């Protein structure tokens, strides 16, 4: 049961300002600010508070939508169609609460907004400067989340590392907010305590320097979360506290964890949530504990699998696993749900050829073809799909993965030789995947795709309908190209059914092959919606089908659709 102290949520909900918690990073990047922020949010949420998390990204791109996945990993998409940093995916997966455009701000967006205001004359002839105009805009973007009193806590993660030129205006904005409202604002600094093997010691100096750097910018952190490979003893904790002007209880150890889903519990062991509440004047009573029952149940199932299933994830960005973060997490959620360890085999689509496809995919229990853009690696994806389809191996295609499934089927089953997507081959004789009319005139690359959640109606009697258990769903999109309606009848006759349709535009959102053991592909991205407490049904059914099928080509003649469905649900 969520335990809310009288001085906590009730007070906050009845008019008290939201509390602002900033999370900064020092010493090194990749310390896991996103996971620590999400873990703290989880602990506060489990105490009954309403929490949201925001990411401020110091780069000049207006959003990460135009970034190559190799740069920052996957682009996460919110229900309202914002293309955002992948950390928002962690926030949603941990909290089971939707984020929006307001949860991810970049320097590009801040400047764009300030420059637009300047052009409209809103600064009344003043010289527009970083302080106060840029910093005011940053503060506005943070405070807007608190202005409706919808949230008790706004946790704002500042991307990058303290000391970077890019993040200076953000640190200045937070300094001002802390100065203006010290009782409602808290700063958590995430830092690294490296272990020097030669000396056999943990070293605090980088942390001292990092805090000094923050102090030079006028910010005294309230809490230090210390990433470390070894436990911090009390002497080290005391030293850090003394040198960095924080209380001993504010030195929080963040030891390397087996899985990111352990971190909320590790943070709870270190009393991070209690220290936060205390510092913000919301002391928790001693017997209050966050209700993490379901979370622990998930972890138990995740860590104690009864079996292992081997899934091939075919994509062209596999060198950087973060490019497919939401997919790999959604597979993990589904695996935990089924008490199954999902071992992902990362398969580079450029390396698959007609000659080696049997060898590369032969030991897999299921094949997932990933989203993507452009022509690189397409042939390998088509080979993988043909292999899955003709060998009755469970298949799941997402976005470009669905488009490739359509192309493969067109060529090999419908008889449309050289069928293609016009994204890859503009003048194909059979454009089975094509641009929507309104997309044809767009030349701007940023924010112009079909983005965010759209309704999809599921056909009676279809596998998709069976999997979801409802007749209408909302799923998130991020693409320009679509299934070409002109070919739909030919596909249906040849055995590939359109089982999910957008009720407004009539666009095909899901295709499936009922005669196959398990072959389903979606134009939308179900992976964005999978969370720890609500694993996505399409991922559960796919993993389940893979478990039932076992590795490689199916040797029995048992491919009836009823069996496929019952095995998959």
Work out how close the CB of 497 gets to ligand GLN at its nearest, in angstroms, rounded to a whole number.
Answer: 21
Q: How many CB atoms lie within 10 A of CB 108?
A: 18
Residues that bind ligand GLN (CB under 6 A): 371-373, 399-400, 403, 423, 478-481
Single out the residue of 372, 361, 244, 243 nearest to residue 317, CA to CA: 372
Report CA Rg, the chain.
25
Work out how close the CB of 478 gets to ligand GLN at its nearest, in angstroms, rounded to a whole number.
Answer: 5
482 is known as an active-site residue: no
Between 139 and 316, whose beta carbon lies closer to ligand GLN? Answer: 316
Record the tokens describing residue 237, joined without a space.
């904790």
Q: At what angle do helices 537-549 and 561-568 cross, to 10 degrees?
A: 120
Work out how close the CB of 531 gets to ligand GLN at its nearest, in angstroms, rounded to a whole number.
Answer: 20
Between 316 and 411, whose beta carbon lies closer to ligand GLN? Answer: 316
Work out how close the CB of 408 gets to ligand GLN at its nearest, in angstroms, rounded to a whole number.
Answer: 15
Task: Tell me how far apart the alpha carbons of residues 27 and 193 are, in angstroms, rounded to a whole number.
Answer: 9
399 is known as an active-site residue: yes
Residues 6+ apart with CB under 8 A from 279: 186, 222, 223, 250
State the residue for tokens 């002109």: 486
Task: Tell me how far apart the alpha carbons of residues 260 and 279 are, in angstroms, rounded to a whole number.
Answer: 26
Between 107 and 421, whose beta carbon lies closer to ligand GLN? Answer: 421
Candidate list 74, 92, 512, 527, residue with the active-site label: 527
Work out how close the CB of 380 gets to ligand GLN at its nearest, in angstroms, rounded to a whole number.
Answer: 15
Between 122 and 322, whose beta carbon lies closer to ligand GLN? Answer: 322
Candidate list 399, 457, 479, 482, residue with the active-site label: 399
Residues 6+ apart with CB under 8 A from 406: 432, 433, 483, 491, 496, 511, 521
Between 328 and 337, whose beta carbon lies closer to ligand GLN? Answer: 328
**Cα-Cα-Cα-Cα dihedral of 365, 370, 375, 377, to 10°?**
-40
Record the tokens describing residue 31, joined without a space.
């310390």
Between 346 and 373, whose beta carbon lies closer to ligand GLN? Answer: 373
Candidate list 420, 479, 525, 536, residue with the active-site label: 525
DSSP string, 40-90: HHHHHHTTT--EEEEEEE-SSSSSGGGS-HHHHSPPEE-TT--EE-THHHH
148 is known as an active-site residue: no
Residues 6+ apart with CB under 8 A from 35: 90, 260, 263
Record the tokens describing residue 96, joined without a space.
């089971």
Between 9 and 403, whose beta carbon lies closer to ligand GLN? Answer: 403
For residue 494, CA distances in Å to 510, 512, 558 come to 16, 12, 20
Task: Tell me how far apart the alpha carbons of residues 262 and 281 are, in angstroms, rounded to a whole number.
Answer: 27
Work out how close the CB of 500 gets to ligand GLN at its nearest, in angstroms, rounded to a whole number.
Answer: 16
Work out how close the CB of 505 gets to ligand GLN at its nearest, in angstroms, rounded to a whole number.
Answer: 14
Instruction: For residue 345, give the H/E element and its range.
Output: strand 340-348
Report the catalytic residues. 399, 525, 527
């Amino acid at each position: 049961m969520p335990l809310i102290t009288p001085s906590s949520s009730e007070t906050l909900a009845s008019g008290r300002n939201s509390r602002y918690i900033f999370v900064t990073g020092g010493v090194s990047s990749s310390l896991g600010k996103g996971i620590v922020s999400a873990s703290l949010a989880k602990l506060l949420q489990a105490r009954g508070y309403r929490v949201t998390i925001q990411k401020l990204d110091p780069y000049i791109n207006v959003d990460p939508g135009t970034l190559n996945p190799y740069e920052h990993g996957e682009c996460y998409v919110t229900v309202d169609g914002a293309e955002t940093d992948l950390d928002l995916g962690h926030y949603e997966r941990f909290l089971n609460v939707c984020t929006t455009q307001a949860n991810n701000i970049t320097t590009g967006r801040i400047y764009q907004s300030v420059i637009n205001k300047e052009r409209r004359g809103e600064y009344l002839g003043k010289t527009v400067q970083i302080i106060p105009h840029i910093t005011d805009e940053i503060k506005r973007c943070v405070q807007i989340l608190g202005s409706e009193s919808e949230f008790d806590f706004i946790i704002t993660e500042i991307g990058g590392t303290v000391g970077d030129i890019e993040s200076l205006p953000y640190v200045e904005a937070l300094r001002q907010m802390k100065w203006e409202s010290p009782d409602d604002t808290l700063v958590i600094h995430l830092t690294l305590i490296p272990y020097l093997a030669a000396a056999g010691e943990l070293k605090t100096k980088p942390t001292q320097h990092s805090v000094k750097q923050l102090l030079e910018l006028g910010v005294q952190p309230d809490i230090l979360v210390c990433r470390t490979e070894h436990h911090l003893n009390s002497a080290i904790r005391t030293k850090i506290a003394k040198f960095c002007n924080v209380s001993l209880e504010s030195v929080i150890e963040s030891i390397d964890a087996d899985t990111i889903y352990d971190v909320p519990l590790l943070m709870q062991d270190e009393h991070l949530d209690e220290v936060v509440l205390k510092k913000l004047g919301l002391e928790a009573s001693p017997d209050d504990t966050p209700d993490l029952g379901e979370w622990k149940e998930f972890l138990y199932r995740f860590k104690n699998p009864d079996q292992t299933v081997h899934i091939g994830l075919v994509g062209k960005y596999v060198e950087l696993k973060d490019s497919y973060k939401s997919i790999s997490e959604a597979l993990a959620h589904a695996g935990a749900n089924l008490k199954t360890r999902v071992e992902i085999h990362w398969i580079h689509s450029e390396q698959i050829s007609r000659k080696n496809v049997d060898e590369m995919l032969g030991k897999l229990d299921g094949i997932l073809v990933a989203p993507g853009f452009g022509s690189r690696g397409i042939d390998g994806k088509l080979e993988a799909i043909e292999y899955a389809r003709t060998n009755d191996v469970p298949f799941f295609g997402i976005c470009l993965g669905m488009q490739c499934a359509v192309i493969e089927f067109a060529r090999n089953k419908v008889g449309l030789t050289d069928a293609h997507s016009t994204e890859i081959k503009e003048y194909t004789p059979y454009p089975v995947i094509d641009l929507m009319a309104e997309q044809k005139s767009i030349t701007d690359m940023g924010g112009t795709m079909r983005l965010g959640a759209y309704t999809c109606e599921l056909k009676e009697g279809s596998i998709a309908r069976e999997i979801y258990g409802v007749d209408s769903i909302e799923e998130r999109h991020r693409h320009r190209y679509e299934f070409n309606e002109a070919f739909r009848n030919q596909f249906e006759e040849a055995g590939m059914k359109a089982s999910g349709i957008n009720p407004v535009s009539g666009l095909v959102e899901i295709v499936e092959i009922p005669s196959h053991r398990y072959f389903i592909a979606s134009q939308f991205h179900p992976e964005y919606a999978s969370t720890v407490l609500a694993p996505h049904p399409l991922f559960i059914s796919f993993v389940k089908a893979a478990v039932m099928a076992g590795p490689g080509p199916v040797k029995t003649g048992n491919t009836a659709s009823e069996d496929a469905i019952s095995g998959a649900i």
